[in-house]
Structure 1
Amino acid sequence: MPRLGSGIPLVARADEMRRLRAAFAAADRGEGGAVLVSGDAGVGKTRLLTELSEHAASRGALVLTGRCLDVREGGLPYLPFAEALSPLSTDEDPVVAEAVRLRPALARLLPQGAMPPAPGGEYLVPDTSGERDVPYRVRQEQDLGQLQLFDAVFGVLTRIAEHRPVVLVLEDLHWADSSSRNLLSFLLNRLRGHRLLVVGSYREEDVHRRHPLRALLVELVRLPVVSRIDLRPFGAAEARVFVEALADGPVSPEVLTDIAERSEGNPFFAEELMAAGLDCEDLPAGLAEVLLSRLERLSPQARRVVRTVSAAGDSVAHAALAEVSGLDELELDEALREAVQHHVLVIERGAYTFRHALLQEAVYADLLPGERVRLHAAYAGRIRRTPQGRGHDAKLAYHSLRSRDLTAALPALARAAEEAERLGAPGAALRQIEQALEIWDAVPEADRPADITELDLLQEASYFAGTSGEPERAIAYARSSVQALGPDVPPETAAKTWRRLAEALLNAEGTLDEALGAINRAWELVAEREPSKTRAWVLATRASILRSAGEFEAASWNAHTAAADAQAVGTAGGEAAALVTLGALADWAGEPVEARKRLREAERKAVESDSLNVELRAICYQAFSHEDLGEYAEAMEIYRRGIARAEQTGLTWSIFGLEMRARYVTLRYLTGDWPEMPGTNAPARGVSSVLAARMTSSWLPFEVARGRVATAEKLLEELRPHWRAEPATAIVSGATGAELAYWQGDYEQAVERARKVIDFLLASDENYLLATVRLGALAVEAAAAWAGSARPHGDQERAEHAAAVGRETIEHVRYAVANGRPRAQQVGPEARAWLARAEASASGLEGPADPSLWAAAVAAFDYGAVYEQAICRWHHAEALLAGPGDAGPAAKELLAAHEVADRLGAGPLRTAIRELARRARIEIPGTEPKAAPRTTIDPLTGRERAVLERVALGRTNKQVGEELYISEKTVSVHLSRVMAKLGASRRAEAVAIAYDRGLLT
């Protein structure tokens, strides 16, 4: 019998094991961290983590292990965490017991913590009031919020970690549900300072371009506490050593070579080939066939049990196997013993599961169709007979679907969706509802649940799609629900359906007219009726849409009427929705005090009525009110509160959950609160690529400002297809694209990029006029630099063209500020600051810029825009140094700008400041003043000289490009021009000539 699993010596993983042990040692010192282990299926991830677990346990650590399962549609939220934390419920350590007891939110994860009844014993029931966005809602608060659960998990781990180090191992993250991914992100963002190590593994080949884990990995690997280990297949020599270790005895060189080659360096392949028999010459090349050939060595009873386990989709208890397999106790014991001894099954926490997921997949795929149906039916029957608990309905739905018992699957799917919503997992709820819709017509009408209609499911699918970050699907389901309306549908139900469509359309770009048409249709159905919850909600939604359309008087009437109707019938949610619109209207009228009062009241009423979307909207508009007036500290605090609430309620990727996160990141950029490494706030499974692009674009300015050219260019290319669907992405792309080209010295392209987005926005909607102010200012700035770079070389035609472009653009900026429609009555400080910057830049279109205008720009950005103000200080110093007078004021500006650029790591700005200081012989940290003025005529441009200076220092073209934030190809072009001007044929000769002529010192 060959040795398998943990009995094999760890081969060729010394470096990986050293890194894992170092991570544990750091965690043991209180430097919490995380390691993500990636690799192909069977490459040895589990074996490596088992070695780490044994190492940590031997040093007194508490090791908790959880695994994700491939349940695909309708997965149970938080499954790996529930498995990992379940030993805590029976741990006799008083520290552990006390930590668990003090955190009741853990009840939903621990085995004895089945979902408790709500206060008063109420559960989810159909809601036909019209107050809610979906037909199923909780009448009272039933469960602790998602954030409480996250805090409880983090709290229990860190509390135990005060007593002994904790290692949390999460395997197969490529199968993790969205809720588990969110919880993982939550933990990894809070590891510092704790004796806690989190180790996760995932299959690299499964994480394809659109896989939901991919974006999360991008976020996580940028965290300082997270490191990554890529586990590669063995090399030829390593594979031979591994196969020899497998054999645990003499093996001929031919067998060693054969298995090592056929396994292609994959340890699991090698294990299976070895286990199938050393002398087996006719094994098929496919791994599935190799795996199944091993099963032929088992007895018929053992194969029967193995097939039974493969259909479970999870680990299986002995009692369940006894019932489903049909074997008597003695036969079952012998069959299980045989399967375990042959390393097909393993025993974990008293249940049986496959030693490797690939083996389970191969066995399950080999089941006959009828056999598969019978096994799933048997599991479903057992689940129906067992007491209900956490995940009961999700499992019942899964097995009922696979056994084609659609009558049982339909209500189970609806209940599973309810549970997923309670757990704050709208994405999982959506998948359950979608499956219910798929089988609706296949279930006889008499067998359908009496309290559910297809219209209910369509509306619920629309709601869950919208709250889980899929606005396009939310619209599609809402349109389908409208099309499903029949002549016998009550007017109020029809009005609710049209309102749901209008609300979904409002959250998408370019659908405002359709949204207005939909809400007007809803209004027609209830306009002549008595006040009701439905009528109040229709009016509130209509007010919001009319405000977005610029019909402020009509919006005000609808909002006031909605509030009155809501008060009359006692629907606080509808009143809250109306108050948000009234608050936004007050802000537009220049009454921020009144606006914030109404918005706070709206938030309070939304909380009282459990109207989660309205609550987030009220919080978001409160932050808008402060942000529009440049009160960034207050706005950021409100955004933080809103983000936390969105995470707590599972609405992270709802329209306002996303908007608050994106705006918060933008304000961090403006105020100079830059994170060490940007992240993407990774989307959950199925999140719209448009919304993911919106979030990614909010991090793009950091990449440009820090000089990460390759990453920035890649992101700009990826974001381009999303401009039309999300203009905010276009705005950021235009601004950052222009800035990137500016820092690279390609001023013409900088102008082109900014103006291209201006034209795009104005062609889409003139309401984006104010959004073009910053873009126009950047274009004017680039045009001035473009003209300034042409004049010293006598290229008057090019200089005049650039100046003409700049003059045309500054006129556009002035028009936009004068005619744009701000959210408040007056243009805010941000737009005024960018206008001041544009005016200062325009003063340099014909010659040296006006220092007083740049001083005004510096002052204009004093409202909290730290980085932009530093850029203005740099330009102010340039303008001062271009004129007569003392260099003292310029030096002061450069020092202040340099301090900001250096602190933020803004490489391109810092380099520009140091270059200017060096030429002006101003002492700046990191620079050496220029030795002496040149008396010879200098034929080189500033960029050409900068390139030649670095070549003189021995830099390669690639190194020069990295230092100057330009491409290697651009460096080569500059060098060619330098050599032509100096009459040199080689780089070294050009440097020597430059020194001889005094062009270099």
Structure 2
Amino acid sequence: MRHDMLDDMLGRAVSPIFVGRHDELAVLSEAYDLARRGDATAVLVGGEAGVGKSRLVQRFAQHVGEQGAHVLFGGCVELSAEGLAYAPFTAALRQLVREQGTARIAALLPEGATRDLARLLPEFGEPSDGHDSDTGRARLFEQFLALLERVSEQRPTVLVIEDVHWADRSSRDLIAFLSRNLRPAQVLMLLTYRSDDLHRQHPLRPVLAELGRVEGVLRLELPRLSREEVAQQMAGILGATPAYDRVQSVYERSEGIPLFVEALLDSGDDCGFPESMHDLIISAVERLPEETQRVLRMAAAGGNRVGHALLARVSGLSDVDLENALRPAIAANVLQVADSRAYVFRHALIREAVHDELLPGEHQRLHARYAEEISKNRMLVPPGRAPVELAHHWYSARDDEQALVSAWEAARKSFKAFAYTEAIPLLERVLMLWDKVRGAAELIGVDHATVLEKAAVAAHAGAEMEKGLKFVRAALEELDAAAEPERVAQLIILRAGMHISKGKLGVIEDYRHALSLVPEPCPARAEVLTQISRHLMLRGELEEGKQLAEEGLRLAEELGDKVLEGEFLMNLALGTSIDGDLEATLAANLRARELGEQTRHGLLVTRAIGNTIDSLCDLGRTREALELSHEGEALAKKYGRLRHNGTFILNNRAEALEALGRWDEAVEIVERALALQPALRNRYHLIRVRADIALSRGEVDLVEGILTELGVLKERPEDFVQDITNSTRLHIGWHLLKGEPDHALAVAERILARPMQASKAMLGWRLLSVIRLVCDAAEAADPARARSVREQAREVAAALTVGGPVAEAYRLTVAGDFDAAAAAWEHLERPHPRAKSLYYAAAVAAHAGDRDGAASRLRLAHPIAAGLGARPLVAEIEGLARRVGVSLDGQPASELLTPRELEVLRLVALGRSNRDIAAELFISAKTVSVHVSNILAKLGAASRGEAAAVAHRMSLLS
């Protein structure tokens, strides 16, 4: 199109003045200021269609742009529902490249990140390989986060995404991810959506609900205009102050929706009023020349935005004839000229109204024309859009053969972009059309089972497990295991992974079946061996797991596959860790990391680092573990694996911080890792760490909530011994915290009654140390039961190894050598277990009548526990101090009570009633009651008789 001809085609402005919305602009400006301080990440702007969301956002963008902000624009389109993934983010990325060039953008990103972004924008070169469906999507999310963070370092950034009600699943997930993780960056996302379009089942509703709970996300509902604001809008459009009656009429009929105000003024009809808003909007179109209306219908079939060249091809008009046909629509502000030689309907409602006017045959023919022209020249649509556009138009044209072929191509394009959830409906379309199209397999080059396999992989990667299991089941029904054993084995492995994601037990039989299908040494057998050996190790079935892992290691060496070799080394390290051979564990993980670095394999490197951190913690080298965790997090970011291996690394850092008593830092790390939406198993690891801290702080309700999420309170079965051990320990601790030793003992009995598989030595000793304390607490009430549990625990302890200093410290607790345990914990720099050991050692001393020994231990323990904020332990220490007559600050115990309280206590010890005491001391009975309550609290006594006994034991009345 000639640019000189565009100038006179630009339509008049709707209104030269910006009407109202001052409060809303103030809210957005405040959100922008908060984002610059790291206190806000997104504003959700909702409102009815036509209420002025875009106008508000454009005005705000202009305002902050003038202040120096970098404003990026992205919009969702209706095609998103048909597989056009990441449309708004691709648009924003393209804007950045247009402004700064690919080289400058690439320089802002971690190493290798551009290969992921190349999946969306060809300007970034060759995309990364597509063999990591489990982590590729998460990695892409991290690259967008990293890019926005780096861009915002140059200047504050606003990312505008309009029409989020049309967003594809991947874009919705990315929006949620960024909203939770952009807090430190100077970035504000501004998201608009039609609130009146959100029916009960609309996919955006749960996203909005989730975002509403995210700190830093604000909601703004855009109201209709007031009567006065409608009058201002009318004056701006008409260029003169309208009469009161006309304002009132337009206000009542438009109900304050700006788009309808414009339509009413355009209609020029103040007497009659169309029966519906559709009729009102379409009336502006019907006043245009017939040829203009015909071309507008063609444009509407192409979407809200259509390029000039494409529309010319579809319409069959020359450039000049097309321009002449569209000129009246542009002058009437029905259509607008956009950049990149494109036309855009001024509002989606106008496009929808025009599209609704298409007759069925006309609708089908127009979509066929679009499909034909795009097939001839894919450059007629924006880069990367052709596959999805073709799938949309051929399906709308009811051409089954082309619809099947194009849906398959679009699904493959979605896989390339890690847009697995968008691939699923496209693959379902292929499956639906399969029997209608003769020679479907020849047309797309794969059989029906392959489409099912592809759909199963997409469903698994997109966390749609029920749907994925149906695809796997259907594929297995079509395949013959005798003819294609490797293919069937792969599907069985995939099914097992889905069952694990759903928390189903017993998948080991699936793994064994898959292994039996590939008995000969080959890559397929190696793949099955990695899965089954890891699963067996985690279940505690070490002998079989070790045997299979060693076979896999030999096979990996024969194949010359160093990555696979590293995987088997780490599987073997799982077994040695559980068995307590920590030095062998550490050596295997370090070797696996070397292999990962040699092959530049990010998953192997980061997984090895995470496991090494765990080994260092078990060896008591906690500060080394902390240092390595920072290196590991940086590498996880570099490799784009922060949400997977990175969250495991963060979990291990939180465990190290918890051990060192740096609880606030640990909680911060847990919350940061949870915001990354880690895999379910990593989430469970993280919240267990949080539960440990909550137990130590006495946060009963928080512990209960975590145990509920873990399924512990309903005794949901678990398969992996480490998870079972940790969950049981937390369950017992929760009952002890609530003062329910009998319930805690019952939990201990249940775990000890299980057939004992191998448990990680350190975790086993830690659990047994808690069971020891449960028995101590329950001894008085039920000595026989406590003795029975002690005996069972001793049998378990006899089978455990002591592989390092941490396990040894717990073993000392189990043995009741609390002083030695306290010394061990001091050496390991673990303050909370040290303070607890000192407390238990003090209790032993007090029971033996060694009051001075108890005092010295309690005085060491108390400031440690108080400094940690370990309220339950502080209360226990102070209670024991009162019971044995120990002053924690070194002052005489008698100073616990005031002189008046000592007088009252003397009379209580003589058995006097409150009335008698009041008469003797010349005070009221009510005052006596207050003194008695204070005495009971200070002495930790539950009754007057116990208070008297404590008074005699502490020599308070001598």
Normalized against structure 2, the TM-score is what? 0.71
Return 322-331 or 106-115, whichever deviates more: 106-115
Cα 1:298–1:545 shift into 2, 3 Å: same
Q: Using the alignment, how far apart are the partners of 1:204 and 1:760 within structure 2?
A: 52
Aligned match for 1:999, one of 934, 940, 944: 934
Q: CA offset at residue 157 of structure 1?
A: 0.9
Say which of 273, 284, 305 aligns to 1:297.
Answer: 284
SS of 2:309's partner is: helix
**Any idea what the Cα deviations from partners look like across 1:477-517, whole Å, max 9, x if unmatched?**
44443332137834544455555556666776412342243
Deviation at 1:613, TM superposition (A): 6.5
Find the counterpart in structure 1 of residue 95 from structure 2.
87
Corresponding position of 2:483: 489
SS at match of 2:216: strand
Aligned counterparts of 2:367 and 2:790: Cα–Cα separation in 1: 70
Is structure 2 residue 134 aligned with structure 1 residue 168?
Answer: no
- What is the distance in 2 between the residues matched to 1:909 and 1:210? 50
Q: Which string of whole-angstrom CA distances, capped at 9 and with x for unpartnered residues, describes residues 618-651 of structure 1? A: 5554455445445445556666666777777777
Q: Secondary structure at the match of 2:285?
A: coil
1:9 aligns with 2:16: no
- Does structure 2 conserve the Cα–Cα contact (< 8 Å) formed by 1:502 and 1:518? no
In 2, the alpha carbon distance for the partners of 1:702 and 1:854 equals 24
Q: Which moved more, 1:75-84 or 1:702-711?
A: 702-711
Deviation readout 1:769-820 (Å, 9 max, x if unpaired):
98787677667767877x7xxxxxxxxxxx9547777666555555554456
- Which of 505, 513, 525 pairs up with 1:510? 505
Matched with 2:868 is 900
Name the residue aligned to 2:953.
none
Equivalence for 1:227: 216
Asked whether the 8 Å contact 1:12–1:234 carries over to 2, the reply is: no
Give the residue type in structure 2 aligned to 1:9: G
**Cα distance in 2 for residues equivalent to 1:261 and 1:809:** 79
CA drift at 1:431: 6.0
Residue 16 to residue 505, structure 1, CA distance change in 2 (3 Å): closer
Pairwise CA distance, 1:747:
1.9
Distance in 1 (CA, whole Å) between partners of 2:299 and 2:925 is 75
Aligned equivalent of 1:747: 739
Aligned to 1:890: 858
Q: Does 1:856 align with 2:845?
A: no
Change (3 A) 1:490 1:472: same
2:391 maps to a residue whose letter is A
Alpha-carbon contact 1:67-1:171 (below 8 Å) kept: yes
How big is each residue's C-alpha offset from its partner over 1:572-613, in whole Å with a ceiling of 9 and x where there is no partner? 555444444344445456554544444455456567778877
Give the counterpart letter for 1:453 in structure 2: D
**Contact 2:40/2:217, CA 8 A, preserved across alignment:** no
- Greater shift, 546-555 or 390-399, is seen at 546-555
Q: Which residue in the other structure is 2:951 paired with?
A: none
Q: Deviations over 1:319-357 (max 9, x none)?
A: 333344566656755775666666665555444445566
Please give the per-residue CA displacement for 1:196-218, whole angstroms capped at 9, x wherever unaligned. Answer: 55545567895989968968986
Q: Which amino acid aligns with 1:23?
A: L
Closer, same or farther: CA 204–444 of 1 in aligned 2, 3 Å: same
Distance of aligned partners of 1:557 and 1:807 in 2 relative to their CA distance in 1, 3 Å threshold: closer
The AA in structure 2 aligned to 1:61 is A
1:381 aligns with 2:353: no
Q: Could you tell me how far apart the structure 2 residues matched to 1:879 and 1:272 are?
A: 87
Structure 2 Cα separation of the partners of residues 295 and 187 of structure 1: 38
Task: Summarize the Cα distance change of 1:147–1:64 in structure 2 as closer, same or farther, 3 Å threshold.
Answer: closer
Q: 1:674 to 1:569 in 2, by over 3 A?
A: closer
DSSP 3-state at the match of 2:512: helix
Indicate how the Cα distance of structure 1 residues 155 and 676 shifts in structure 2: closer, same or farther if over 3 A, else same. Answer: closer
Question: Is residue 732–residue 748 contact of structure 2 (8 Å, CA) maintained in 1?
Answer: no
Q: Is the 8 A contact 1:730 1:757 kept in 2?
A: no
Q: Contact 1:680–1:695 at 8 Å: present in 2 too?
A: no
Aligned length: 875
Deviation at 1:10, TM superposition (A): 1.3
Q: Is 1:64 paired with 2:72?
A: yes
Of the structure 1 ranges 617-626 and 906-915, higher mean CA displacement relative to structure 2 is found in 906-915
Q: Secondary structure at the match of 1:66?
A: strand
Deviation at 1:459, TM superposition (A): 3.7
Asked if the contact 2:74/2:88 (under 8 Å) is kept, the reply is: yes
Q: Which residue of 2 aligns with 1:932?
A: 898
* TM-score (norm: length of structure 1): 0.69
Say if 1:535 and 1:188 are closer, same or farther in 2 by CA, change over 3 A.
Answer: closer
CA distance in 1, matches of 2:880, 2:535: 51
Q: Partner of 2:41 in structure 1?
A: 34
Query: What 5-or-longer segments of structure 1 have no aligned partner?
Result: 126-131, 788-798, 841-851, 940-978, 984-988
Larger CA Rg, structure 1 vs 2 = 2
Deviation at residue 271 of structure 1 after TM alignment: 8.2
Tell me the residue number matched to 2:517. 522
Q: 1:240, CA displacement in angstroms?
A: 4.7
CA contact (8 A) 2:459 2:465 kept: yes
Which 5+ residue runs of structure 2 have no aligned equivalent? 1-11, 236-240, 907-913, 919-923, 939-958
In structure 2, the residue matched to 1:674 is 666
Could you tell me how far apart the structure 2 residues matched to 1:866 and 1:451 are? 65
Say if 2:514 is the partner of 1:533.
no
CA distance in 1, matches of 2:317, 2:787: 88
Cα shift readout 1:714-762 (whole Å, capped 9, x = no counterpart): 565555489447878887776666666766xx423x8647955984897
Q: Deviations over 1:171-204 (max 9, x none)?
A: 4556365377558746974664x66555455678
Deviation at 1:566, TM superposition (A): 4.2
* Identity score, percent: 23
Give 3-state SS (helix, strand or coil) of 1:7's partner.
Answer: coil
In structure 1, the partner of 2:8 is none
Residue 890 of structure 1 aligns to a residue in which SS? helix
Q: Deviations over 1:286-342 (max 9, x none)?
A: xxx535642233226666666655555664323333344566656755775666666
**549 and 58 in structure 1: CA distance in 2 versus 1, 3 angstrom threshold:** closer
Equivalent runs, 1:560-639 vs 2, <5 Å: 560-587=550-577, 591-602=581-592, 621-633=611-623
Q: Tell me if structure 1 keeps the 8 A contact 2:582–2:619.
A: no
Q: 1:254 & 1:917 partners in 2: Cα distance?
A: 85
Q: For 1:200 and 1:718, how far apart are their aligned partners in 2?
A: 31
Q: 2:910 maps to which residue?
A: none
Would you say the 8 A contact 1:37–1:231 is kept in 2? Answer: yes
Decide whether the 8 Å contact of 1:4 with 1:271 is kept in 2.
no
Q: State how far apart, in whole Å, the 2-side matches of 1:426 and 1:390 are.
A: 16
* Paired letter, 1:897: A
CA distance in 1, matches of 2:265, 2:680: 45
Alpha carbons 2:459, 2:467 under 8 Å: kept: yes
Q: Deviations over 1:23-47 (max 9, x none)?
A: 36x46xxx68534335455576545
- How many angstroms apart in 2 are the aligned matches of 1:826 and 1:661? 26
Provide closer, same or farther for how the CA distance between residues 594 and 670 of structure 1 changes in structure 2, counting only shifts above 3 A: closer
The amino acid across from 1:396 in the alignment is L
The equivalent position to 1:317 in structure 2, one of 282, 304, 307, is 307
In structure 2, distance between residues paired with 1:290 and 1:877: 81
In the TM superposition, residue 18 of structure 1 has moved relative to its aligned partner by 5.1
